[in-house]
Each structure stands twice: as C-alpha cells, then as structure tokens.
Amino acid sequence: MVLDNPIVFYTLVTVTIFVFYVCLILAGGKFLFGWTRHCKSKTRLFGKTVIITGGRTGVGKETAVDLAERGARIIITTRNCTRGEEAIKEIKNRTGNYNIECMELDLTDFDSIHRFATRIKQSEIRLDILINCAAIIDFSTTNVTKYGHDYIFATNYIGHFLLTYLLLDLLKLSVPSRIINISSLMHMLPFDLDLKTMCDNGVKYPGLSGYMVSKLAVVMHARSLSQRLTGSGVSVYAVNPGLVKTELYIPFKSKIPACFLKVLLWYLRKISLTPKAGAQCVIYAAVEESLQGSSGIYLDKSKVVDGNKLTKNEGLCQQLWDMSMEICGLQQYA
C-alpha cells in the first residue's frame, strides 16, 4: 500500500491539515466579512437628485447604478472627468437613465470644493441625497495637501465636512433629505483620538493621519451633524459597506513584499464582497423609508449597530467639530 510509505503518509497528513486550515480561515473570513443584506426597498426616486462623491468606481458607482434605476438624477464626482465619462456611459447603458452627470471635485483642494458647490447651487434646484463616498487608503503615505494637512484625513473627512456644509442649504430646501457618510469597520480600531494642533514634520494635526482615524471622524461627523439638524428634515447616517473588491487597495501594491501581497490579495479576493453587494448598505441608507426619523445612526449590514465608543463622547465630538470648522475657515454651521 502506498500509505505504508511513511513519507507519503506524512505528506498526505500535512497537506490535509494545511487544506483544512486554509478552508477554516476562508470560512471565518467569509462569515465575518463576506456577506451582506440586500436592500429590498422598492422606493422610487423620480424627480430626486443625488450626489455621490467618488462615484466613478467601486461602491460609489454601484450605488449610482441602483439609484439611477430608481429614476433619480445622479451626479457623480471624480478628479478627472475624462476618466469619469466611461463610468457615465456604463451607468446609462446599464440603467437606461440618461439623467446622469459627472463633475470634477478634488476633496483635498478647498478651491475645488467651493467651485463644485457653487456649480451645484447654480445648476440644481434640489438635492435629496448626498453620499460622501470618496476615499483613499494607504497606511504608509506621508503626503500632505497644499495646506499641510494629512492627505488621507483631508480626502476622507475634511473635504466632505466642507462639502456638506456648502450644500446644506440645498439639502434643507429638499426635505426630507439625507446625508450619508461612508465609514468602515476599521473606524472601530482607534482607542483614542489625538486632536493635536501643533505641526509635526510639516503635517498639521499629525495625530490624525491614517485611514482608521479618518473613518472614525466620519462617524463622529454624522452624529454631531444629526444633533445640529434635529427637526430640520435632513437626516444623517454613517455606513459601513463591508469588505469590498475595489480599486481602494491598489496603493498597497507598491508597499507590501510581493509574495506576501499575492497571498493577501488572493485571500481578500476570496472573502470580499462584489462592489454591487458592498453598495447594498449604502443604498439602504439612501432609500429605506423606515429610517426616516432615526438620524445619527451607524449602519452595518443594513442594521443599526453601535460604532466606536469614542463616537458617543460628546466632548471629543465637539472638539473635532470645532477643529474642522477652523480648518475649513467656517464660522457658523447649520
């Protein structure tokens, strides 16, 4: 018998144990991250206008497709409208809705945000849903914006803070309206938020660098803003789309050793959601009628869950709010 050979026997045992553990790790990953609840709402959006930042790719684009199918006018933003045209063509072809537009917006550039908001206020008579979806992730970046702010924090949080402020009047004119801030499960990781005001190596607010902190700030913004908008008819939600196969992780490619990266990307591909599945919780926050009246919540897999406990720290939320107002050069909000 072949199994009488100890080399064959031990090789078989080792391979079996290896396959067992790989399956276990895959099943664990799938159980934790690789599923979602599909949005079953039949809400139609004829006559409604939706803005989706970062709608050219990934979760933003799939959200645009769904909301376009419901009849909404969709405005997606990108830093490069030439690249955006392809997405526009795809959304029109897939939905048959031709009321789709692409506009330029760079969230790291205050001038670009002001220009975009002015254009919107001139061209649109209403804004029903604002989805703050654009983001970057790169744990090793040391880039700063031209104002000296951390690049990730500026893109993912500060830019959206200013944009939301500038579009608030239009949202108030279109009540009941909604603001949806896209966060991440990673917002749960920080134990503290270090609101330093001094400079460190030329980076202003150095303690705020990093994807997780930016995503924590996004949830705190949703909570703080919802309190300020109580009774206004504008609801604010924070959402975790889940682990999704998108372009978000491309910057990792140059930073991680090739062999480890291959294994990591293979694993992530196996357990993560498609962009369409990742968009489901965002779509739910945008259209689900039963959510009306529960502003300030954090949604994961289309269920209300507790976010990081720091998001309930009123003093810290207020400090972050004041700091954001100062960075954006704003005097009064809401």
Ligand X SMILES: NC(=O)c1ccc[n+]([C@@H]2O[C@H](COP(=O)([O-])OP(=O)(O)OC[C@H]3O[C@@H](n4cnc5c(N)ncnc54)[C@H](OP(=O)(O)O)[C@@H]3O)[C@@H](O)[C@H]2O)c1
Catalytic residues: 211
> Cα(76)–Cα(55) distance, rounded to whole angstroms?
5
- Rounded to the nearest whole angstrom, what is the least distance from the CB of residue 48 to ligand X in the complex? 21
Q: Identify the residue among 136, 216, 225, 297 touching ligand X (CB under 6 A).
A: 136
- Rounded to the nearest whole angstrom, what is the least distance from the CB of residue 251 to ligand X in the complex? 9
Question: With binding defined as CB under 6 A, does residue 247 bind ligand X?
Answer: yes
- Rounded to the nearest whole angstrom, what is the least distance from the CB of residue 87 to ligand X in the complex? 8
How does DSSP classify residue 157?
I
Residue 216, CA atoms < 13 Å, CB-side half-sphere: 25
Within positions 28 to 57, which residues make up the interface with ligand X, using CB under 6 A? Answer: 53-54, 56-57
**In terms of CB distance, is 219 or 317 closer to ligand X?**
219
Per-residue interface string for the shown chain with ligand X, residues 145-174, x marking contact by CB under 6 A: ----------x-------------------
Residue 310, CA atoms < 13 Å, CB-side half-sphere: 21
Within positions 67 to 126, which residues make up the interface with ligand X, using CB under 6 A? Answer: 78-79, 83, 105-108
Tokens of residue 179, six digits: 């603001």
> Cα(265)–Cα(125) distance, rounded to whole angstroms?
44
How does DSSP classify residue 289?
G
Closest CA to 135 of 34, 253, 215: 215
Stretch that binds ligand X, among 91-99, 134-142, 171-179, 316-324 (CB under 6 A): 134-142
Instruction: Specify whether the CB–CB gap between 235 and 290 falls below 8 A.
Output: no
Within positions 257 to 316, which residues make up the interface with ligand X, using CB under 6 A? Answer: none
Would you put residue 242 in left (φ > 0), alpha (ψ -120 to 50) or beta? left
Binding footprint of ligand X on the chain (CB under 6 A): 53-54, 56-60, 78-79, 83, 105-108, 133-136, 155, 182, 184, 241, 243-244, 246-248
